[in-house]
Structures are given as structure tokens and as C-alpha cells.
Amino acid sequence: MTKGRILIVDDDEVVTGMLSEMLTTEAYVVKTCTRGDEVIPVCEQFRPSAVLLDIFIGTTNGLTLLQEIKELSWPTAVIMMTGLAEVSVAVESMKKGAFDFISKPFEGDHLIALLERLSNTSE
């Protein structure tokens, strides 16, 4: 039994690989994107229950992608990730509909707890 479908969006393949392995071990079905232009088509096909979205994906602004994801026709929670721990970016992402915001590097246990809290709020 799977816990949910997670889309990981980050232009750093080391990050996507590490997160993918960790979440697959935790019984999530995982897909990854390393380019901003892949995100919406993958979301439409994969229909993730949650998206882990980096603030900067190459030249793509993650906040713009957040808005596009929130406009899709089914509910998907978005957790924003960034290596820049700026409060203003966190506040802006929450105003635009992000479920939560985490700063890299973060503990795997913290992310798992966040995803479990997300699944508890959607039941």
C-alpha cells in the first residue's frame, strides 16, 4: 500500500535522487522533474498528492510554478523548498497557497513528518 504520490521538482539531480530514494523507501510513489517546463505536463499525467517544489529551478521561478499548480483541476499540496532561508520568500509562498515551506538542508524525518501531517489533513 502506498502513502501517496509525490512529485519532486529541483534542478539538482543529487537532491531529487536522494529525496526519491528516501520517499520510495517510505512507501510513496515518486516522480521527479529537473526542469520547470516539465512540471505542469507531469502533474497533469501523474496527479501527485503533493509536490516538493524548489524556489529556483534553473531560470524558472518556483513561485510562478506554484500558482500554475494551484490552478490545476484537482487538489495538490505544494511544499516549497529552498537553500535561501528568507522569511519574505516563505511568507510569499504561503500567501500563494503553499502547504508549507522548508529550508535546505533539512532532516529527512522533518520532511516525512510534514508529509504525514499533510495526509492527515486531507483525510
Distinct helix (H) and strand (E) counts, the chain: 5, 7
Parent domain of 102: 4-121
- For residue 20, the cross-strand partners are none
46-70 tens-digit pLDDT: 999 999 999 989 889 999 999 999 9
Q: CATH number, domain at 59?
A: 3.40.50.2300
Q: How many whole angstroms separate alpha carbon 116 and alpha carbon 111?
A: 9
Q: What are phi and psi of 34, to 5 degrees?
A: -115, 0
Model confidence at 107: pLDDT above 90: no
Residue 106: pLDDT over 90: no
Whole-number pLDDT of residue 85: 65
Average pLDDT for the chain: 90
What span, in angstroms and rounded, lies between the C-alpha atoms of 93 and 105?
A: 18
Number of domains into which the chain is organized: 1
Answer yes or no: is pLDDT of 123 > 60. no
| Mean pLDDT for the stretch of residues 8-23 | 94
